[in-house]
Amino acid sequence: MSAPWSFRQALRPGLLAVRHFYRVFLLFQAIAVSLYFAYYHHPEIRHSIDAFATWKSSGGLLLSALLTAIAGTLLPETARTIVGPDRSWNQERCRRLGWNFLFFAFNGILVDLFYVLQAHLFGVGHTLSVLLPKMALDCLVFIPWVCMPMTVSYFLWLELGWSPTRILRSWSWAMYRDRALPLMIPDYLYWIPIIFLLYGLPLNLQIPYFLLAFSGWSLAFVFIGSYGLPEKK
């Protein structure tokens, strides 16, 4: 007989992840914060970032999709191959990489559209009247009720052999609760400081800044996902 559900136990994996890997989180957060202030105080860096933002804007949603997919798949898979416990490649891993690429590409489009929607609803600027509503919509609606269900469903689909019908049979509030809650703590601890700065940037810089932060998030989870696993040659 399984033990009764406990909120404390449900949060425990997320707390352990933060305890073991908070230095990785702090490193990428420090890079993001440094880049934010460098943008406003160093003309050379500002010029380079503006040039990248202009290039990204010229590519529209498709370029957002491509860059997010690269940040979410190729960067972490490269890191996992170099320093992770599983350095082998086979047909199943390549297949999963392809699906992950498509999944994160869709995420890139979704995030881009969400930032445009936020700008339309609340404006652009770094006053609290702009930042707080954006952060509230992001943290209280977009992450728990859009991103998390989509992510849980996607990885459940991978686990259940690519079967949509098996996903529908497996989906329940208890399943979502048990899978999403452990992710919430590292997710919020990493992203809340970053999106506070991100939403204070001009709209055309928000996706480039997101891509930097998302690359760090993806790389950090190489180490989180590898923790305690035996090494494979």
> Residue 120's domain spans which residues?
13-226
Taking Cα atoms as reference points, which of 10, 3, 21 lies closest to residue 186?
A: 21
Interval 131-165: pLDDT, tens: 999 999 999 999 999 999 998 888 888 888 777 88
Rounded Cα distance, 36 and 24, in Å? 19
Q: Determine, yes or no, domain membership for 2.
A: no
Q: Determine, yes or no, domain membership for 232.
A: no
Whether the CA torsion 42, 47, 52, 57 is positive or negative: it is: positive
pLDDT at residue 59 greater than cutoff 70 = yes
Decide if 112 contacts 61 (C-beta within 8 A).
yes
Q: Which is more confidently placed, 218 or 213?
A: 213
Q: Determine, yes or no, domain membership for 29.
A: yes
Which pTM value belongs to this model? 0.87
DSSP codes joined into one string, 76-115: HHHHHHHHSSB----HHHHHHHHHHHHHHHHHHHHHHHHH
Rounded Cα distance, 230 and 125, in Å? 48
Interval 188-210: pLDDT, tens: 999 999 999 999 999 989 998 99
Q: Determine, yes or no, domain membership for 204.
A: yes
Q: Determine, yes or no, domain membership for 51.
A: yes
Number of domains in the chain: 1
Taking Cα atoms as reference points, which of 143, 122, 123, 149 lies closest to residue 192?
A: 143
